[in-house]
Amino acid sequence: MIYFALLILVIISYLFYFIGKKRALNLKFNGNIKLSSQPDYFGYYVVLMALIPALLMWFGLLLFKGNFQEMFVMSPILFPDISTWSDGKLGLILNKLNNLSVIVNLPLDDLTNGEKSILNMASENELTAAKKLANFDKIYGWSNLTLFIILPIILGFLATRSISGKLNAQPIVEKIITYIIKGSSYIAILITIGIFLSLVFEAINFFRYVNPVDFFFSTGWNPNRAFVVDASEGFDKDDLENAFGFIPLLTGTLLIATVAMIVAIPLGLMSAIYLAEYASKRVRDIAKPIIEILAGIPTVVYGFFAALSLAPFIKDVGESVGLPVSAESALAAGLAMGVMIIPFVSSLSDDVIKAVPQSLRDGSYALGATRSETIKKVILPAALAGIMGSFLLAVSRAIGETMIVVMAASLRANLTFNPLEPATTITTQIVTSLIGDVEFDNPKTLVAFALGLTLFLMTLLLNILAITIVKKYREKYE
């Protein structure tokens, strides 16, 4: 229903654009009236006037649909003890009624056995309520549709009639458009703030159980200790000492990210230099998309590549030269991750190098510099800001990467800087703390939010650093 209504709305606005423009042109040429805006603006004016109230009302109806439903069916007549229900129970019942309302009016033959048993289990009052709800939905749908058709048409005609020599449509239209684009950017900002705040609040919840100093500075990570103590008895902070130490996760993350960057920076940068400066156009046209495919491979594929092929291989090689290598070494995860982020480095650096003006190359060649001298002494310094930017982007990608490390890195926290040993990362631990039967009043679960917040702040810091560096060099080079 709603899609149909939206389609009609699009058609209506399309028509109103022409009606508005036509009327403006009519006034101009047949009525000999001097218009204060271009005819196009009168078209937009009518469309906006017709559309905006309808869309606002639709949004309002959508927002308060639940409340309307509640007012409509949740009467004390059907549910006598309703005043004693908690908000949670109210929501659950409403949800159940919503499900019932879909099937309650269907003929019995069309129902699956599951659906029949749901109907049988429902009480008489619930069925009555569900039927009422179905009626409500029907009315709600039709009123939406009417709203979408009648209201815009009326408003549109009113707006068309109001077009005259005195009406200056341009500032009105531009103001409304400004509000719309402003609103869009505010929405993006608000969502970011919302996500950040939800992290903060849950993290605060976590820190009610665990001392922040303990979390950030202790070196023991044994989150399962939180299960030993029964949550109902409350946690003694001493019990959780050394259970949630963030340090081994941080070192593990940095270790694996470092391995990844050691792989990705030289390979990515050199392939960027080759592609931008040495490769013929044909080679470049073929090679660049192929390298970029690396970025399109799902990370889970890298994950089992690392876990099933790379890790055993590294173990075999290591043992053949007498090095003790763990089966879940940080090296394997880091290598796979490094391969994954090569295209981030190479593609961005390639673009940056290509963007260095040809005139600088010409200037260097004309002074008798060879190609490699030109690259080393003119092009790379000029492109440095962008190249650094691509490195930092790759680092923050490496730190935030989850799937590869979940599959290839270890789950055991290990405070080490030896890439041949197992290590775990922040993201891996976030995943493990949230899978399985989870309760949201246990620090073992809540730690995910504290870890997420820390990770968020880390990548934020990296991005700020990247922007600062880029800015600093840009000022210097332009």
Partner 1 sequence: MVEQVNSFAIKTKNVSVHYGNKMAIDDVTINFTKNDVTSLIGPSGCGKSTFLRCLNRMNDVIESCKVQGEFLLNGVTDIYGDSIQVETLREKIGMVFQKPNPFPKSIFENVAYGPKIHGLASTQSELNDIVMESLNRAGLYEEVKDRMDDIATGLSGGQQQRLCIARAIAIRPEIILMDEPCSALDPIATARIEELINELKEKYTIIIVTHSMSQASRISQRTAFFHLGKLIEHGDTSKIFTKPDKEQTNDYITGRFG
Listed residue (338, 356, 318, 436) closest to 395, CA to CA? 338
Query: Does 381 sit near partner 1 (CB under 8 A)?
Result: yes
Q: Which of 62, 367, 438, 467 binds partner 1 (CB under 8 A)?
A: 367
Rounded Cα distance, 391 and 399, in Å = 12
Q: Give the shortest CB-276-to-partner 1 separation in angstroms.
A: 14
Q: Which of 369, 420, 465, 470 binds partner 1 (CB under 8 A)?
A: 369
Q: Which of 382, 392, 393, 413 binds partner 1 (CB under 8 A)?
A: 382
Within 10 A of 440 (CB to CB), how many other CB atoms are there?
A: 9
Query: Does 175 sit near partner 1 (CB under 8 A)?
Result: no
The identity of residue 309, as a single letter, is S
Find the binding residues for partner 1 in span 334-363 (CB under 8 A).
Answer: 357, 359-360, 362-363
Q: Nearer Cβ to partner 1, position 114 or 357?
A: 357
Q: Nearer Cβ to partner 1, position 272 or 382?
A: 382
Q: Which of 138, 237, 377, 471 binds partner 1 (CB under 8 A)?
A: 377
Rounded Cα distance, 428 and 454, in Å = 14
**Sign of torsion over alpha carbons 146, 151, 152, 153:** positive
Please provide residue 132's backbone torsions phi and psi, each rounded to the nearest 5 degrees: -60, -40
Q: Give the shortest CB-349-to-partner 1 separation in angstroms.
A: 17
DSSP state of 30: T
Q: Nearer Cβ to partner 1, position 110 or 478?
A: 478
Within 10 A of 354 (CB to CB), how many other CB atoms are there?
A: 15
328 contacts: CB under 8 Å, gap ≥ 6: 307, 311, 408, 409, 410, 422
Find the binding residues for partner 1 in span 196-215 (CB under 8 A).
Answer: none
Query: Does 373 sit near partner 1 (CB under 8 A)?
Result: yes
Query: Does 470 sit near partner 1 (CB under 8 A)?
Result: no
Q: Give the shortest CB-176-to-partner 1 separation in angstroms.
A: 43
Q: Nearer Cβ to partner 1, position 93 or 378?
A: 378
Q: Nearer Cβ to partner 1, position 122 or 378?
A: 378
Residues 265-294, mask of contacts with partner 1 (x by CB under 8 A): ---------------xx-------------
Rounded Cα distance, 430 and 447, in Å = 8
Q: Which of 13, 37, 364, 424 binds partner 1 (CB under 8 A)?
A: 364
Listed residue (151, 165, 140, 4) closest to 73, CA to CA? 140
Query: Does 471 sit near partner 1 (CB under 8 A)?
Result: no
Q: Give the shortest CB-472-to-partner 1 separation in angstroms.
A: 13
Q: Give the shortest CB-370-to-partner 1 separation in angstroms.
A: 6
Q: Which helix (H) or strand (E) holds 395?
A: helix 380-400
Query: Does 296 sit near partner 1 (CB under 8 A)?
Result: no
Contact 209, 443 (CB under 8 A): yes
Contact 436, 223 (CB under 8 A): no
Query: Does 476 sit near partner 1 (CB under 8 A)?
Result: yes
Q: Nearer Cβ to partner 1, position 67 or 280?
A: 280
Q: How many residues bind partner 1 (CB under 8 A)?
A: 22
Contact 473, 392 (CB under 8 A): no
Q: Nearer Cβ to partner 1, position 54 or 380?
A: 380
**C-alpha dist (Å) from residue 180 to 16, 53, 170, 318:** 20, 14, 15, 60
Residue 411: CA count within 13 A, CB half-sphere: 8
**C-alpha dist (Å) from residue 235 to 210, 242, 429:** 9, 14, 21
Q: Give the shortest CB-393-to-partner 1 separation in angstroms.
A: 22
Residues forming the site for partner 1 (CB under 8 A): 280-281, 357, 359-360, 362-370, 373, 377-378, 381-382, 476-478
